[in-house]
Amino acid sequence: MSRLRYMWARALEAGPAGVSIKIWQKISPLIYFFCYFPRRLPRTGLAERVQLRRFGALCAQAFLDASSKDASRGERTLRRRDDALNRVHRVLGYGPVGAWTEGSWHSDPLHGYSWPLVYFPFCDFVANNVRSDVKIPWEMNRLQNLVWLAEAAIAASPSERLRLETEFLDVVNSWSESNPAGFGVNWTCGMEVAIRGSNLALAAAVFSIWLDDSATDKVCRLLRAHQRFVARFREVSDVPGNHYLADLLGEVVLHAALDGLESSATSDALIRFAAAADEQFELGGCHIERATGYHRLTVDMVAISLAIARRASHRSVEILERVMGRALSFLAQITDCGGNLPAFGDHDSGFVWWFGEKPLYIDKRLCGAPAAPLTDLYSFLCELAGQSGSFLPQVVRQDGCRSGFATLSASDFRLTIKTGPTGLAGRAPHDHDDALAVVVSYRGKPLIVDPGCHSYTLDPNIRREALLSSRHNAPRPAMRERHFPVRGSINLTMRGVPTAKIVSRNESTVAARIENQNSLGMEIERQVTRHMDSLVIRDQWRFERPEGARLFWLLNSDWVVGQAREKIQGNVIEFGLRCDDMVVKAIITVPDGSNVTTRRDHYFPDYGACVSCSAISILTPPSIEGYAQLEVALR
């Protein structure tokens, strides 16, 4: 019955247009069933073969030009090549999975579960009743390692190139035979099809320079199958998000590879992508999902489309540059000097084209450090765009407030506080109960961190834990949560979670308050102030009845907490914090009778990863009103 209530509520929210979209998404796989039932790939011919080789020549030259401008890139290319040849898959935060074997394309090898090879709408990819994570096979099936083979092949000797070409064809043939179009878990998500198609297109385009016509035609047919699937089953909804943007990116890349940069199909795909991106990125710069990890992923999507649009001299360049300008301005504000992106909300650590970058790391040149080297992805995109320097808008890193995320800097400290509405126009698919939460770094090193996101479907208890206010560092009642998760399209979401708004801000202070406080039975306000060499985070709250309050500070795993030193009648406590040769102090001020302790805890720096860390916990005595203050300062 709860499922019916959920569906009814979503139908009312989406309106007639949204309901029509959902109905079409349910029936369209049935309409197209006989396009996939023969399990044959679509036909292609000379035109696709010629365009793929033209696109491959552009991509190969872009790889060569990027390598010629970065002496260390060759070494990284060889490391990636070796991983691809050894068939080692580093799956998100789970780490290396090991070599794939025939028949393993549909499996989660870490948890011993395999999905059946059935027509995609009938494949239960969530598998709630089994301990498994569909992100593991999806990540392995993105085939990003094929791009590493292609990159290495460009400057390889003839014998080495033949070895790489053979490996490429072995993987493609194995994958194609094990994953007939439209069947199995690897065709259940349009976004995954689009990302895999983009990687196949880039790798196949480069290898097509040396492949014979027969092998090239076979790859072209597989690429066309991906392009048609994404076009038929776009993940549209009443409020489209990152999945829809990925679908449109896949069409851009696949049409560019198969139909040519100047084709009307590529032009139409670029126009659709640019319009969707312009709509999805807020005026303040944040992506509509309002989860910083997904913001990074969608910025990569826009950058890839912009590079292709620039190379094609397409009219969408102006729109895409405008989108990138505000998206990068937002990133420049919230990242620290080390390029670290604060983790607010979910982040699945994924990439489209991946060259080994960290998921919560941003290319520093893109965020206001013009002298910093480009990452391997963005150096390649610069050359693909036909630009000798960066093809992206230049921005300046500075404190401020964009899309509700406010930053303050003091000496070598940098703080970001989260306020603003929930993502996807209130649908909150990737939000946590983290309104007023802060992330702090020191000298470009994360210091106070968010608990992150471990997995979506592996274990409902793990998923639930990451969402709750008790895992975040904003105040909450000691014996209850601020909000509980509700049913979503896939497991739990934080729809209806309390949000916060900034009530005052100047150059040295930001004050924010929980908005829908009546439902909480409490009022919460957090004020952040910067001084010459410290940041002060002061919380005040008021309850309807006497209650204790709890705060919880997680520290990055590289920081060690020293022994506490009490002063001034015990309500001010100082801790020394050390990381390598860096030492700072945390000064906590609490009401008399409060309990301040340190303990070992954990957080999830990447999707699927769990690391041990130090934590500071504060429990105040029951009262109507209360306060707590944390100051991080130079030692």
DSSP string, 18-31: HHHHHHHHHHHHHH
Looking up tokens 């500075």 gives 398
What lies within 8 Å, CB to CB, of 177 at 6+ separation is none
Q: Are residues 442 and 554 in the same domain?
A: yes
Among residues 177, 203, 233, the one where a domain terminates is: 233
Is 403 buried (19+), middle (13-18) or exposed (0-12) by CB count in 10 A?
buried
CATH code of 494's domain = 2.70.98.70
> Which ranges in 236-282 belong to alpha helices (H)?
242-259, 264-280
Q: Is residue 406 domain-shared with residue 261, that is, in the same domain? A: no
153 and 241, same structural domain? no
User: Would 98 be classed as within a structural domain?
Assistant: yes
Measured in whole angstroms, how far is the alpha carbon of residue 622 from the centre of its chain? 40
User: How many helices and strands, by DSSP H and E, does the chain display?
Assistant: 15, 24
Give domain status of residue 147, yes or no.
yes
* Residues 225, 327 within the same domain: no
> How many Å apart are CA 453 and CA 430, to the nearest integer?
10
Residue 568 lies in a domain: yes
- CA angle, 353 then 48 then 276, to 5°: 45
Instruction: Give the residue among 327, 332, 302, 334 at the shortest CA–CA distance from 317.
Output: 302
Tens digit of pLDDT for each residue in 100-152? 666 689 999 999 999 999 999 999 998 888 999 999 999 999 999 999 999 99
Strands (E), 499-591: 500-505, 509-514, 522-530, 534-547, 549-555, 560-561, 565-567, 572-579, 582-589
Assign 3-state DSSP to the chain and report helix, strand, coil percentages, each to 5: 40, 20, 40
Three-state DSSP at 517 gives coil
Question: Could you say which of 173, 199, 233 is where a domain stops?
Answer: 233
Residue 96 lies in a domain: yes
Apex CA 503: angle with CA 501 and CA 509, to 5°? 110
Q: Domain for residue 16, yes or no?
A: no
Residue 560, in any domain of the structure: yes
Q: Is the CB of residue 633 less than 8 Å from the CB of residue 533?
A: yes
Q: Are residues 222 and 250 in the same domain?
A: no
196-206 mean pLDDT: 98
Q: What is the mean pLDDT of residues 442-456?
A: 92
- Are 121 and 142 contained in the same domain? yes
Indicate if 371 and 405 belong to the same structural domain.
no
Decide the pairing of beta strands 492-493 and 405-410: unpaired
Q: Any idea what the Cα angle at residue 40 is, between residues 126 and 59, rounded to 5°? A: 80
Residue at 471: amino acid letter: R
Please, what sign has the CA dihedral across residues 439, 445, 447, 451?
Answer: positive
Instruction: Give backbone dihedrals phi and psi of 372, rounded to 5 degrees, phi first.
Output: -75, 150
Q: Are residues 69 and 94 in the same domain?
A: yes
Find the range with the poorest average confidence among 194-198, 327-331, 345-349.
Answer: 345-349
Beta bridge partners of 553: 616
Of 370-379, 440-449, 580-589, the poorest mean pLDDT is in 370-379
The residues with which 417 forms a beta bridge, in sequence order, are: 406, 438
Average of pLDDT values for 212-217?
96
- Structure confidence at residue 539 (pLDDT): 96
Kindly state whether residues 412 and 550 are assigned to the same domain.
Answer: yes
Q: How many angstroms separate the CA atoms of 534 and 333, rounded?
A: 19
Q: Which of 170, 200, 233 is the last residue of a domain?
A: 233
Per the domain annotation, does 571 fall within a domain?
yes
Q: Let me know whether 270 and 218 are in one domain.
A: no
Question: To the nearest whole percent, how much of the chain has pLDDT over 70?
Answer: 94
Residue 12, domain member (yes or no): no
Total of domains in the chain: 3
**Contact yes or no for 279/287 (Cβ under 8 A):** no
pLDDT bracket for residue 19 (50, 70, 90) = confident
- 280 and 254 in one domain? yes
Range of the domain at 270: 235-395
Residues 227 and 241 in one domain: no
Average pLDDT, the chain: 90
